[in-house]
A and B are shown apart, each in its own frame.
Chain A
Amino acid sequence: MTAPQPSVPTVNAALRSAAASPYSLTFLDAQERETAFTWTKVLERASAVAGGLAARGVRGGDRVAIVIPTSPAFTDAFFGTLLAGAVPVPLYPPVRLGRLDEYHRATARMLERVGAAVVVSDERVKLLLGQSVATARPRLGLVDAEELLASAPGEWVEPRPEDLGLIQFSSGSTVDPKPVALEQRHLLAQCAALKSLMPEPASAGQLGVSWLPLYHDMGLIGALLSAAYYPGPLVLIPPEVFLGTPAIWLRAISRFRGTISPAPNFAYGLCLKRVSDRELEGVDLRSWRYALNGAEPVSPEVLRRFTERFRPLGFDAASMMPVYGLSEASLAVTFSPRRAPARVCPVDARALAEEGRADAGSYELASVGRPLPGVEVEIRGEDGRARPERRVGRVVVRGPSVMRGYYEDAEATAAALPGGWLDTGDLGFFADGELYLCGREKDLVIVRGANHAPQEFEACLEGLAGVRPGCAVALGFTPPDETSEELLILAERRGAPPQDAAVEDAIRGAVVERTGVRPHTVKMLEPGTLPRTSSGKMRRREALRRYLAGQLTPPRRMNVVRMAAELARSTFALARSRLERLRGER
Chain B
Amino acid sequence: MTLVSAPAEEELRGQALAEIRRILGEQRAAASASAGVELSQALVADIHLDSMELLTLAVGLENRFRVKLNEADSAGIVTVGDLVDLVVRRALAAAAAERSAP
**Residues of chain A having any CB pair with chain B under 8 Å:** 30, 93-100, 124-125, 127-128, 240-241, 243-245, 274, 448, 508-509, 512-513, 516-518
Contacts and interface: CB of A to CB of B under 8 A. Distances in A.
B73 interface: yes
Interface stretch (B8-16, B47-55, B88-96): B47-55
A243 B70 contact: no
Contacts of A513: 44-45
Contacts, number: 84
Nearest to A274: B26
A523 B100 CA distance: 57
16 contacts: A30-B63, A93-B71, A95-B55, A96-B69, A96-B70, A97-B69, A98-B55, A124-B70, A241-B59, A243-B52, A243-B56, A244-B60, A245-B63, A509-B44, A509-B46, A509-B48
A125 B71 contact: yes
A430 B59 CA distance: 43
A167 B13 CA distance: 46
Contacts of A95: 51, 54-55, 71
Q: Is the interface of B mostly helix, strand, loop or mixed?
A: helix
B74 A99 contact: yes
A95 B45 CA distance: 18
Contact of A97 (B45, B46, B77): B77
A518 B57 contact: no
B73 A100 contact: no
Given A96-B73, A124-B70, A508-B48, A243 B63 contact: no
Interface in B65-95: 69-75, 77, 83
B62 interface: yes
Query: Interface residue tally of chain B, by bracket?
Result: 20 to 34
Contacts of A100: 71, 74-75
A97 B83 CA distance: 9
Interface in B1-59: 26, 43-46, 48-52, 54-59
Given A95-B51, A448-B52, A509 B45 contact: yes
Shortest beta-carbon contacts, A-B, top 7? A244-B59, A516-B51, A96-B58, A97-B54, A518-B50, A94-B71, A97-B74
A96 B44 contact: no
A243 B27 CA distance: 11
Most chain A CB inside 10 Å of its own CB: which residue of B46, B63, B69, B73: B63
A96 B71 contact: yes
Contacts of A96: 54-55, 58-59, 69-71, 73-74
A97 B73 contact: yes
B54 to A, nearest CB: 4
Contacts of A512: 44, 48-50
A263 B75 CA distance: 31
Contacts of B60: 244
A108 to B, nearest CB: 17
A244 to B, nearest CB: 3
Contacts of B83: 97
B64 to A, nearest CB: 11
Contact of B71 (A30, A128, A243, A274): A128
Nearest to B50: A518
B52 A127 contact: no
B67 to A, nearest CB: 12
A448 B53 CA distance: 12
A243 B55 contact: yes
A517 B55 contact: no
A385 B2 CA distance: 68
A536 B90 CA distance: 54
Contacts of A125: 71
A446 to B, nearest CB: 14
B50 A516 contact: yes
Most chain A CB inside 10 Å of its own CB: which residue of B48, B57, B73: B48
Contacts of B70: 96, 124
B52 to A, nearest CB: 6
B58 A97 contact: yes
B56 A244 contact: yes
B79 to A, nearest CB: 12
Contacts of B45: 509, 513
Most chain A CB inside 10 Å of its own CB: which residue of B43, B71, B77: B71
A216 to B, nearest CB: 15
B42 to A, nearest CB: 9
